[in-house]
Each structure stands twice: as structure tokens, then as C-alpha cells.
Amino acid sequence: MMKLAADTFYVQWIPGKKHHVADALSSFPLFDIQEEDQQDGLALSGFDSIHLATISLNSAPDSALASVSEIAKGDVNYQAIISTLLSGQSPNSLPQSHPSKMYSKQWKALSLTYDTNLLILQGHRIVVPPAARPNILQDLHRAHWGIRRTRALARSLSFWPGMNNDIEQIISSCATCQEHLPSQQAETLVQSKASRPFESILVDIFNNAGQHYLVMVDHFSAWPCVAHLSRMDTPAINSILYDWFTDNGIPQVLRSDGGPQFRTEFGEFCRGLNIVHELSSAYHPASNGHAESAVKAMKALLQKCNNHWHDLRISADPYSRPPIDVHSPL
């Protein structure tokens, strides 16, 4: 509807027997440009036919087009471009300061209307003079569409150099659009670093097939350790971690999700070993990403072992047969 709003149509029924070569006539009408122009009172036969539009934007008065036409009549640069088109000149032959230079790339697609509203066309789009552009932008953004939708609508009706940037600016400066923007993307996580093995570790508890497990992963090497939990209390976790620390060394930093087992009593355990206990962001597993990756890997291994913890322990070290209560690192 917006594309056709500039035209007025009169519907008339014609019997089918009078439709002679209708498809050819509708797709490629043939007429003499010179005669059409002379009939409308404009002697344009001496000019380059590339720059002559033999269509009328509207056969009936149109207030919107009349307003743009009035602004165009008072725009010196706009009229200079019209004069250049009428003279059949190329912008390459004009001084660098001539306004036609702005349309050099689109010059072959420019044409003129020949009705009462003398305007420049770029293809089927109206070239809007600068003074009329604010009103056009306001009308385009009246429904507060996004940038892509507004650009698509503008391209179907109007044209001027820098139109895409003007649309982007008016939308980005619209208070209503900014107020209803979707939530901003989460801030990029700051990655902590480790310079040597078991300097920094991450721990987590996971459930698999109704059984609970404790996993620890080295931040530097991503080496995982896992143990089955017969009890879900802090002393049981502290005992397992102490055995791992005996084998691998006491870390400087330990990160957990701050669950019930990693609170007051666990904090005292860390302080007694001079370990800095860091907490990951609540309800944000990505902040403890290494531990979550280790949990995923251990779950996959357990499922491949048909959830048999003892098979997983033996496959980790096939030359040793530790007692069940000893927690061996993988």
C-alpha cells in the first residue's frame, strides 16, 4: 500500500475479447516519448531519454507530493540538479562543487517526473530535498520500527545520499526506542589465570544416577579428580580435598559455587591451609566454567561405565587396586 500510495487508480472492466496482447502491453508498453511529453506541455524531445520519466506520480492532487515539490522549488541545489538532467549533461563535466556530483554513482538511474510536481526520481523512488527529509524521517519512524524495517520502508519510497545513516541516527536518539530495547548482552567474563599446576583449583558437586560426586579440576592443566561421596557434609568433602592436596600440593586459590557444603566450616578449612576461597556468581554456572566442564566430562565417563563408580576408578589406574575408601585422582 505504501508503494502504491503515490498513485491514483481508476478501475474499469474491459471484456476479455478486447484484451489484445495484454501481457505484452502490461510488461513492456510502447509509446513515443516525444509525443507524450508534447501532450503534457513540456518540450523535452531534445534531451537524453535516459533522464526522462514518462510516468506521472499522481494524476490527482497529492498534498504530500505537493509539499515536497514546493520545498524542491525553493532548493537551489535541487533545481541545479534538475537543470543538469534537462540539459543532458554528465556530472563528470561539471565543477567539483556542483550538487550533481553527489549523485554521480546514481546518475544513469535518475529521471524527472513530467506532471505538476516536478521531482527527481531514482528508479521509482523520489529524491527528497534536504529540507523535506526531517518530515519524511518522522513519518517513517512514527510506528517506532527497528532500523532494518525502517530502512526497507524508506528504500521503497525515498532516496537521498546518507539516508541509511540518517535513519540510524533518528532511531538511536529516540527515547521511546531506547526505553524498550531488549536486555543488553551479558558482560564478558574476566578470565582468571594460573601460572603453574595446582596453583588454582575449582571444585563442584554433581549428581549422577542418584549418586553424588565431588570433582576438582586444576585451572592450569585442566587435570580432573573425582570421588564418590558417601556423605554430603563438609567434613567428608574436606577429607577428600585434603587427600588430593597431599598428592598434588596445597593450592593458593580455590573456587566453588558457595553451596551448603562450601560455607562457614569449609571457609575455616581453607583459612587453616592459607587458601583463598573464591565464590562464583550465584545462578551463573559460566563463572565456574572449568568445574562445569569437568562435571560434564565425568558424567560422560560414568555413563559409559554404566554408572559403576568402581569400574571408573579401576580404568583410571589399571595397575593399582586401591581400597574403596581411598579417593584416587583421575
| Alpha helices (H) in the chain, listed in sequence order | 22-27, 33-39, 63-73, 76-87, 133-140, 147-157, 163-172, 175-179, 234-248, 264-272, 289-304, 309-316
Full-model pTM? 0.42
CA dist 158 and 124 (Å) reads: 9
Enumerate the domain spans of the chain: 28-179, 200-316
pLDDT digits (tens, 9 = 90+) for 47-56: 343 344 434 4
Residues 6+ apart with CB under 8 A from 197: 218, 220, 221, 223, 248
Domain 28-179 has CATH 2.30.30.90: no
The whole-chain average pLDDT of the chain stands at 78
pLDDT digits (tens, 9 = 90+) for 161-179: 999 999 999 998 888 888 8
**Binning pLDDT at 50, 70 and 90, where does residue 114 land?**
low
Check for a shared fold between 28-179 and 200-316. Answer: no
In words, the CATH class of domain 200-316 is alpha beta
- Decide: 42 and 115 in contact? Cβ < 8 Å: no
pLDDT digits (tens, 9 = 90+) for 227-268: 888 888 999 999 999 999 998 889 999 988 888 888 889 999
